[in-house]
Amino acid sequence: MAKKNIISKLYLKYSDKKAYKLYKQELVNLKHARFEAELKSSTSLIGPQKIKAFALVNKCIDFNHSGNAGDIIYALATLKRIHQIAGIPLNLYLKLNRPSTISPDLVHPLGNVMLNARMVQMLIPLIQSQPYINICDVNNNVKVDIDLDFFRASIIPQDRGNIAHWCGYTTGITPRLWQSWLTVDANKNYGDDIVVARSERYRNSMIDYSFLSRYDKIKFIGVESEFKDIQKAIPHIQWVQVNDFLQMAQIIAGCKFFIGNQSFPYSLAEALKVKRILEVCVEVINVVPEGDVGYDFIFQEHFEALVQELDAGS
């Protein structure tokens, strides 16, 4: 089916609404058919059998991902499972400066791109330290075997479900999300601290963090603007700055428990499977705690009860 030009679309829209609705549905069906055809193509590595066969004649599998940073962390769950199935080294190449698709009304530390050079340099020490990753580097026109960006082909709704499943859907590999997929040496200096991260995006407007002022040892990880904002609610909270995301993961791994919204630091807590509490943004529920000691909330009373429970050592 050929796509109509703008004049033809407008004419159809206002002259025959039923036909226009059918045309729009046919476009969706066409997109889905093309997506399915790509997945079924002989060159597409999807499913355990194709990946195992590829591993028999190749020394490694090369992947591409262009962000965001949290999406990359969630994708690692699938990569870990692929490594377990294939038994060969995995190389992850990160593509810089792909335009962001977030609403202009939302604030993101990287502005209008998903990954920049600074973000990649902060990610590499963490990703490179994982036993199932051989190489993590910038993608300078590397021809890859599996493009993890394929989940952005518009067929997978990205405002619902679970981000950690997206790359599993497009590779045909089910990640074991109840198990940790990041391992780091815990920074035990934070063993008595509650660690908090709260981005300016994905906030629940019903939630007030000021009750955390009752807790003495509380730290914040994130960017300066986020710290200054949460400091209004928790004046004594301390800002911990890190050189890279390996350091951040080590702090989260060593803390008493972690609190965060649907942001990058929470993806680390989820991957590490530490005691963690997720603030759920009701407009975009696409992060789901999996496994033990993972909790989420929508309402204030539930939030306060969870903090009290974990602080007491439950």
pLDDT tens-digit series, residues 50-72: 999 999 999 999 999 998 999 99
Burial class of residue 231 (count of CB atoms within 10 Å of its CB; 0-12, 13-18, 19+): middle
Torsional class of 173: left (φ above 0), alpha (ψ -120 to 50), beta (otherwise)? beta
Tokens 């890279």 found at: 244
Return the closest-CA partner of residue 275 out of 263, 253, 293, 297. Answer: 293
Q: How far is residue 136's CA from residue 125's CA, in Å, rounded to a whole number?
A: 9
Burial class of residue 243 (count of CB atoms within 10 Å of its CB; 0-12, 13-18, 19+): exposed
Q: How far is residue 302's CA from residue 314's CA, in Å, rounded to a whole number?
A: 15
Q: For the chain, give the percent of residues with pLDDT over 90.
A: 73
In angstroms, the first-to-last Cα distance of the chain is 59
Q: How far is residue 151's CA from residue 158's CA, in Å, rounded to a whole number?
A: 9
Residue 256 has pLDDT above 80, yes or no: yes
- The predicted-structure confidence for 93-126, as pLDDT tens digits, reads as follows 999 987 866 555 555 566 677 899 999 999 999 9
Q: For the chain, give the percent of residues with pLDDT over 70.
A: 87
The answer to whether residues 152 and 166 touch, using CB atoms and an 8 Å cutoff, is: no
Residue 224 has pLDDT above 90, yes or no: yes
The per-residue pLDDT for 42 is 42
Of residues 155 and 222, more confidently modeled: 222
Residue 276 has pLDDT above 70, yes or no: yes
**What's the pTM value of the predicted model, to 2 decimals?**
0.84
Least confident of 142-156, 190-204, 238-252: 142-156
The band of 295, judged by pLDDT with boundaries at 50, 70 and 90, is very high
- Give the list of residues 6+ apart from residue 198 with CB closer than 8 angstroms, or none: 209, 222, 226, 229, 230, 259, 260, 261, 263, 279
The answer to whether residues 223 and 118 touch, using CB atoms and an 8 Å cutoff, is: no
- The predicted-structure confidence for 2-49, as pLDDT tens digits, reads as follows 666 777 777 667 788 787 777 676 655 555 455 555 555 544 678 899
Tokens 């059918």 found at: 22
Q: What is the mean pLDDT of residues 224-253?
A: 98
Q: How far is residue 158's CA from residue 74's CA, in Å, rounded to a whole number?
A: 13
Q: How far is residue 10's CA from residue 13's CA, in Å, rounded to a whole number?
A: 5
Q: Tell me which amino acid residue 192 is.
A: D
The per-residue pLDDT for 152 is 81
What are the structural domains of the chain?
48-171 (3.40.50), 188-311 (3.40.50.2000)
